[in-house]
Amino acid sequence: MEENWAELSPDEKREARFKRWLSPPGVTFSSPQAEKGYKERVTRFIKAFQLKKPDRVPCILPASNYAAYYAGMDLRTVMYDYDKLAEAWLKFFRDFKDELDTYIPPALVPPGKALEIVDYKLYKWPGHGISGDTTSYQCVESEYMHADEYEALIKDPSNFWLRIYLPRIFGAFKAFPQLPP
């Protein structure tokens, strides 16, 4: 950022951010066409943020798990097969790249194997606690923090999370209460 950042007005800071976003330092584009497309999309957002009229309304599609189904896969498959996950999201991106101004990564697709390894107790997911053909994971509602524990949380949040809360939601952390302070 600017060396005199603290001295800039909020509007000047915003303009500096826009400039950096439009021409990110150290970013090399794969082709002039890729750079042009990037700058068009960023300009579209900047104009919308500035309440100016962009060439079209910026499009952000929070598609959640839809990319898997669009590619003919299910949630269980992409939760456990990361090559399939990449294949599905890349297909979605390539097929809709001209309509979308942002790419939504599969951040809402938790890795099934990792959840199993840590014995995650907050979710049930396809093939783990619910039917393999279920279209979403489910949050398991329970009392993971008790009403009489707020004082312990306030007194020492790190200790509370490490020794009390995390062992309740991750079976693999069951020995954490025995860690020395």
Write out pLDDT tens, residues 117-142. Answer: 999 999 999 989 999 888 888 999 99
| pTM score, whole prediction | 0.76
Residue 2 has pLDDT above 80, yes or no: no
The arithmetic mean of pLDDT across residues 49-53, rounded, is 95
The C-alpha atoms of residue 134 and residue 128 are separated, in whole angstroms, by 10
Q: What is the pLDDT of residue 1?
A: 59
Task: For residue range 59-93, list pLDDT tens digits in order.
Answer: 888 888 999 999 999 999 999 999 999 999 999 99
Domain ranges of the chain: 7-58, 114-178
